[in-house]
Amino acid sequence: MKLTDQQIKDIKNQQSQENKTKRVVAAELENILYEAIPVLDHGFIRVIDYMGDDSSIVQAARVSYGKGTKKVSTDSGLIKYLMRHWHSTPFEMCEIKYHVKLPIFIARQWIRHRTANVNEYSARYSILDKEFYLPEPNHLAAQSKNNRQGRGDILQGEQAKKVLDLLKGDAERTYDNYENMLNERYDGSVIDESQIGLARELARMNLTLGTYTQWYWKTDLLNLMNFLRLRADHHAQYEIRAYADIMLDTLKRWVPITYEAFLDYRVGGTEVSSKGKKVLKKLISGDVIDLESSGLSKREWNELMEAFEIKDKTL
């Protein structure tokens, strides 16, 4: 990731601000506020603003005047209860806003979470930076043979080099054409004084999905956790998971009690259907049960066995 001198100056100016407030603040999150944390080759993520902390969740749950309780353990117990029983509205009382620079193909996957306020950099009004995502060789993989959404074996040697050359060549060529159609370079200089450039809103359509875009993404705590539960999971695409992992750290800095409950009940927990519950009860009782008699599909059976690490179908 490379920031321009102006971007570095703007960040330093933001971080040098001192504002007196009566609102609650999260000291650990304040330490990285506005900081551009690198992601992938040219991307970054920054926390721009936030509202509330763990005590705000407790306050909302009790609809009280106070900030929470004097004992952290009491607040922790309530937050764990709320998380365990899938309460939602108390967590919606906290909000956070990120500034994210990311490849367009990841932005299109990210925007499927329709639970945030988003304002994206507009290529109708401005010229996109000459930056595009190129995967590291260890992230270049063939299509998985048993997962339509996943990756299989890592590409090796000449095969990997050929793919990287194609990705880089296509990105550079389409960006050069983009500049030529605009008759303007990304630094603002004109290419040919005698040529009238194509409208920016039209020229942009030729760019690859690996081109970087930026947006402000604001969401509440509940929907942030819903996002992270899916995108920080090891099954998620690597590129979006790289952003989610950093956001997990910001969650820990912002609401540490909620973060621990989230890891325990959402990330580390397992949902079980009513049929799956019956299977577990029989196994605990020592009864013999198999796929055929369980009433579960083969996939459900395998997922249940994997979730509880049951290899021989007995406990």
Query: Catalytic positions, please?
Result: 231
What CA–CA distances, in Å, run from 115 to 118, 125, 138, 310?
9, 26, 33, 37
How far is it, in rounded angstroms, from Cα 225 to Cα 72?
Answer: 22
Q: How many helices (H) and strands (E) does the chain have?
A: 14, 7
What CA–CA distances, in Å, run from 202 to 103, 124, 150, 198, 221?
19, 8, 33, 7, 37
How far is it, in rounded angstroms, from Cα 219 to Cα 199?
Answer: 33
119, two tokens: 């304002």
Q: What angle is formed at CA 46 by the lines to CA 41 and CA 52, rounded to 5 degrees?
A: 150
